[in-house]
Amino acid sequence: MKITLRIWILIFVLLGSFFAIAPWHALDSGVVVKTVEKNSSVYEAGIRTGMIITSINGQSIKNMEDYSAFMAENLIKSEKIIIETKDEEFIFIADKLDISVAEVPNSNLRTGLDLSGGARALVKAQNSSLTGDQVADLVSITTERLNAFGLSDIVIKSVSDLSGDNFMLIEIAGSTTTELKELLESQGKFEAKIGNDTVFIGGDRDITYVGSSGQDAGIYSCDGSSGKFYCEFRFTISLSEVAAERQASLTANLSTNLSTGGKYLEKPLDLFVDGVLMDSLQIGTDLRGRATTSIQISGSGSGTSQDEAYKDAQASMKKLQTILKTGSLPFKLEIVKLDAISPALGKEFTKNLVILASLVFVIISAILFIRYKKIKVTGAVILTMFSEAFITLGIATLLRQNLDVSAIAGIIAGMGTGVDDQIVILDESFSKEEGSVRLKERIKRALFVVMGAFFTIIAAMLPLFWAGAGMLRGFALTTIIGVTVGILVTRPAFANIIEQIKEN
């Protein structure tokens, strides 16, 4: 068979999808770090999420069973810990490992809660309709709040339905509905304290301005060596007159902290969200007893490289700016829908999906062979069908789209439309007009019909992309990806293959 340009394009796209889906560490032994508690000894040593641990204190760690056995048998008590990863060795002193780990994934596909398990909540403001900007602010605030509780694998996004109502969708892997409900029912109170006394709270009452760009905010210095770097940030905030007077009163009698070279007062400014300490900031001696409305917030970020430290400082500054600007949640939340998903259901669904796919494969193959009586035609249809599904998975991986039940349904729908389009091409190719109309003309006519069907599907999927408060977005997105891949890559290649089969 002659490999035409269209077939070469299909081959290269398939290879690209393979590289996107298949992780190069799939065959590696060990466990992958999922979360690292910030400011812990493990974090300070340089261990980050995504690293693959292969050994702890000389004991080989090949999988989760080895890791669990090590943690059960070794009670760490302020001793030296040696962790080996694929590329580095980390040595530090700690009394516990502030990390969570998981098996090394066998692909880069990201599964949603439907397959991995967890809790999902669809929420809105109580007795209020939110604008797009308001729900975006709510997502930002909620993200900061849940990050403060040390939760991992969180997806928080704004969604809307066809009537224009805006909602916030929250998904937390490994969580329960009770835990998620308790987190959402808390309003998220922000307080800045000196000792036990509150200086100001977040929001418009005490904070009138938070600098975010230009001369009012930025990263000002980065330095370090021997694998440890620090970057400092500063930004300006403006307090109300009442909050400024309160700060003057509380700092008037504070002495100077001599260990800082006389730059700061003896007590820091502690920032709390829902009673949880978020950060502690030093207070400059020039602010003692002064009712100033303009003060400067400073902090730092750290990392094992200057680039990592810079990004950490940027993230820390943005987090502080967000909570200082908005403080507690501006709306009382109402849970519209609360779901719990068991990982066991995901495994059962995957098993049933494999069985169903195999059954469909056999039925379609039999029908095509009976209809066209050519094994090559049947093979071309099946190959094209699975090529579309594989490329769709590859693009979804690049877009970091979670593979949940609705997304899988979209892939199946795309495969179904693909088979329909291929049958249209086959019927035109094997029609009885062979004597009057050339094969190339009949295939062009078939592709014109396929193009019309493509635009019809896109027109149907775009409204669905926003329907159901975004719950069907995965279905619509993967369907759109599948039919687009078909019209641009697989259908033209299939037409070339059928043309060569027919001519031979």
Give residue-wise pLDDT tens across range 192-245.
888 888 888 876 678 888 887 777 888 888 888 777 888 888 888 888 889 889
Answer yes or no: is pLDDT of 369 > 60.
Answer: yes
Helices 405-429 and 375-398: crossing angle, nearest 10°? 150
pLDDT for position 139: 80
> What rounded mean pLDDT belongs to the chain?
78
Pair of tokens at residue 230:
């620090």
Question: Which tens digits make up the pLDDT trace of 459-496?
Answer: 888 777 765 445 567 788 888 898 899 889 988 888 88
Looking at CATH, the fold of the domain delimited by 5-22+344-503 is given as Multidrug efflux transporter AcrB transmembrane fold (1.20.1640)
Helices 306-326 and 132-148: crossing angle, nearest 10°? 120
Question: Which tens digits make up the pLDDT trace of 371-430?
Answer: 878 888 888 888 888 898 899 988 988 887 777 777 888 888 888 888 888 888 888 777
Q: Three-class SS of residue 290?
A: coil
How many CB atoms are located within 10 Å of the residue 142 CB?
20
pLDDT for position 331: 67
User: For residues 20 and 396, what is the distance between their CA atoms, to the nearest angstrom?
Assistant: 9
pTM over 0.75: no
How many CB atoms are located within 10 Å of the residue 93 CB?
10
Q: Three-class SS of residue 90?
A: strand
Would you say 207 and 186 are in contact if contact means Cβ atoms under 8 Å apart? Answer: no
CA 279 vs CA 188, 268, 364: distances in Å: 15, 10, 61
User: For residues 472 and 109, what is the distance between their CA atoms, to the nearest angstrom?
Assistant: 19
Q: Where are the domains of the chain?
A: 5-22+344-503, 31-103, 118-187+332-340, 195-310
Pair of tokens at residue 411:
């892939």
Would you state the torsion angle of the CA atoms of residues 370, 373, 375, 377, taken in this order, to the nearest 10 degrees? -90
Q: Three-class SS of residue 295?
A: strand
Looking at 151-293, list the stretches that DSSP marks H as alpha helix, in order from N- to C-terminal side. Answer: 177-185, 241-251
User: For residues 158 and 132, what is the distance between their CA atoms, to the nearest angstrom?
Assistant: 8
CATH class of 118-187+332-340: alpha beta
Answer yes or no: is pLDDT of 328 > 80.
Answer: no
User: What is the 8-class DSSP label of residue 110?
Assistant: P
Looking at CATH, the fold of the domain delimited by 31-103 is given as Pdz3 Domain (2.30.42)
Answer yes or no: is pLDDT of 329 > 70.
Answer: no
Of residues 29 and 147, the one with the higher pLDDT is 29
Could you give the count of Cα atoms lying within 13 Å of 233 in the half-sphere of its Cβ? 27
Question: Which tens digits make up the pLDDT trace of 162-207?
Answer: 677 888 888 876 566 666 776 666 555 678 888 888 888 876 678 8
pLDDT for position 327: 59
Question: Which tens digits make up the pLDDT trace of 261-274?
Answer: 677 888 888 877 66
Could you give the count of Cα atoms lying within 13 Å of 118 in the half-sphere of its Cβ? 20
Q: Which helix (H) or strand (E) holds 58?
A: none
Nearest to 250 by CA among 188, 190, 298, 295: 295
In the chain, % of residues over pLDDT 70: 82
Of residues 466 and 9, the one with the higher pLDDT is 9
**Side chain identity at 126, as an amino acid letter?**
Q
φ, ψ for residue 222, nearest 5 deg = -140, 130
Mean pLDDT (whole number) for 280-308: 81
Answer yes or no: is pLDDT of 143 > 80.
Answer: no
Q: What share of the chain is helix, strand, coil (3-state, %, to 5)?
A: 50, 25, 25
pLDDT for position 89: 86
Question: Quick one: CA dihedral 484, 490, 496, 499, positive or negative?
Answer: negative
Mean pLDDT (whole number) for 7-36: 81
Mean pLDDT (whole number) for 42-71: 82
Answer yes or no: is pLDDT of 150 > 50.
Answer: no
pLDDT for position 28: 66
pLDDT for position 24: 62
Most confident of 113-117, 126-130, 437-441, 478-482: 478-482
Answer yes or no: is pLDDT of 17 > 60.
Answer: yes
Would you say 299 and 316 are in contact if contact means Cβ atoms under 8 Å apart? Answer: yes
Answer yes or no: is pLDDT of 437 > 60.
Answer: no
Answer yes or no: is pLDDT of 9 > 80.
Answer: yes
Of residues 75 and 406, the one with the higher pLDDT is 406
Pair of tokens at residue 245:
């007077």
Of residues 331 and 447, the one with the higher pLDDT is 447
Mean pLDDT (whole number) for 153-157: 74
Answer yes or no: is pLDDT of 451 > 50.
Answer: yes
Would you say 91 and 80 are in contact if contact means Cβ atoms under 8 Å apart? Answer: yes
Answer yes or no: is pLDDT of 35 > 80.
Answer: no
Say whether 118-187+332-340 and 31-103 share the same fold: no
Pair of tokens at residue 432:
């009885």
Q: Three-class SS of residue 86?
A: coil
pLDDT band at 12 (very low <50, low <70, confident <90, very high): very high
Contacting residues for 113 by C-beta, under 8 A, at least 6 apart? 119, 120, 171, 173, 339, 341, 404
